[in-house]
Amino acid sequence: MSSVRVRFAPSPTGFFHIGSARTALFNWLYARHTGGKFILRIEDTDKARNSEEFLNVIYDSLTWLGLNWDEGPKIGGDFGPYRQSERDAIYREYLQRLLDGGRAYEKDGAIWFKLLGDRHEVYDDHRQKTVTKVKTAPTVIEDRIRGRVERTEDEDFVIVRSDGNPVFHFVNVVDDITMRITHVIRGEDHLSNASKHVELFKAFGAPVPEFAHIPLILKQNGPGKMSKRDQGALVEEYQRRGYIAEALVNFLSLLGWNPGDDREKMPLDEIVRLFDLPGVNQSNARFDDKKLAHMNMLYLLELPADEFVARARTFFDSQAGDSPALAADATYFREVMLLSQPKIKGIEELPAYTVYFFTEDFPMDEKVKAKVLGKGEPKTRLNELIAALAAMDFSSDEAIENAIKAVAETNGQGFGAYQSVARLALTGTNVGPSITGIMRVLGRERTGRRLTKLAAAI
């Protein structure tokens, strides 16, 4: 068994966004690739900004994405508790070690971490006060993604605030030590903290974990990092919109990593097999919601019929208002959904895409209507179809197609002359599944009624 132990350490201060999901995923993938452990740790020391609601969103989103944790809240483990708000005693013990070893001291009510090196006072113009500078050697971080990074810490820093709350750097490192974390895989925004963290590890005499800082995700349009406020940034939004979790995971895996060739859609076990830190790009990745939608469509197309129908029903159920689709016969609902499956890009399109199957009161696209009725002899074509309906074989798309072709031939017309006007009568639009599929699913009776209604209106 591998000794790799990685952790995802979110702070429940906001909704769970794409960047967090990607960090969680890369940790999870690394753990699964190496046969190590994936630990979930909640960094909730900032009581004012944390909420239980956000915490539940983290659990739900990770669970939805399939990123199961081996140790952490809800399931426990040998190195818990896994919420920082429950680890006070551990922090106090570790603080005492620093105090006893002369590596921490109190000043102005706060507790400071003491760097080692020659000290001198200088006046800082910017902050308009005298500060103590410490002459130290640069801290070296051998980052698995960024390579060698050097940074010099030259001032002591606060580790426990005057209100008694420990600071992020301190609890983060104490937890990584006590939870025996071997690899710290996190967003590049934390690279600037790594030197402080390394100095803390050393002060505790603890081994420094490997660091891997993953590149930022840039917002879709324009410069800068994608933020929680950007459109499409929240994971639960995709869940709500009926996205397939596996598709989102596949998409996220490619935000800053590639399998070494230009493959995109890949089964999860293949991603796990190929994922490794050297494969993570140094350059930033750009979010692209069209690419995500496309990936989702590829997964939708492959869903087995039963699963697609079940997901469709769940989505209709989740929509506000009573869709007549929910009251429809289950077999009919299934047929409608399976007819639509190869045609849509996302589950969320289904209600609008299938509206005319479930009501006689469906919208008519007036532009399409004007165009279709403005050419040829639409009324005659409709009446010819209506006349043939009673004898028409509705058992398959092919049978219906042959029947329409026969009507067309008898009347010296092309198939298209019937298709566009029938589509208008049956659906009110000029897009959708094949006309034969629509007729088969609607059935002889509904088809006849709608054709007759339009013929009478012309």
Distance from C-alpha of 246 to C-alpha of 244, rounded to nearest angstrom? 6
Nearest distance, CB of residue 7 and ligand GLU, angstroms: 7
Residues 371-410 that bind ligand GLU (CB under 6 A): none
Nearer to ligand GLU, 174 or 438 (CB): 174
Phi, psi of 175 (to 5 degrees): -65, -40
| Token pair of 390 as six digits | 């009673």
- The answer to the question of residue 186 lying near ligand GLU (CB under 6 A) is yes
Nearest distance, CB of residue 8 and ligand GLU, angstroms: 7
Nearest distance, CB of residue 362 and ligand GLU, angstroms: 48
Nearest distance, CB of residue 419 and ligand GLU, angstroms: 56
Please choose, out of 7-15, 85-93, 303-311, 334-342, the segment that lies near ligand GLU by the rule CB under 6 A.
7-15
Nearest distance, CB of residue 48 and ligand GLU, angstroms: 15
- Among this protein's residues, is 219 annotated catalytic? no
Site map for ligand GLU, 144-183, x if CB under 6 A? ----------------------------x-----------
Residues 39-78 that bind ligand GLU (CB under 6 A): 43
Site map for ligand GLU, 262-281, x if CB under 6 A? --------------------
- What is the size of the binding site for ligand GLU (CB under 6 A)? 8
Give the burial string for 295-334 (b: 16+ CB within 10 Å, else e).
Answer: bbbebbeebeeeebbebbbebbeeeeeebebeebeeeebb
Nearest distance, CB of residue 300 and ligand GLU, angstroms: 32
Give the residue, chosen from 5, 6, 11, 211, that forms a contact with ligand GLU under the rule CB under 6 A. 11
Site map for ligand GLU, 352-371, x if CB under 6 A? --------------------
Please choose, out of 114-122, 184-192, 208-216, 403-411, the segment that lies near ligand GLU by the rule CB under 6 A.
184-192
Point out the catalytic residue in the list 133, 202, 225, 228. Answer: 228
Site map for ligand GLU, 208-247, x if CB under 6 A? ----------------------------------------
Instruction: State the residues that interact with ligand GLU by CB under 6 A.
Output: 9-11, 43, 172, 184, 186, 190
- What are the residue numbers of the active site? 228
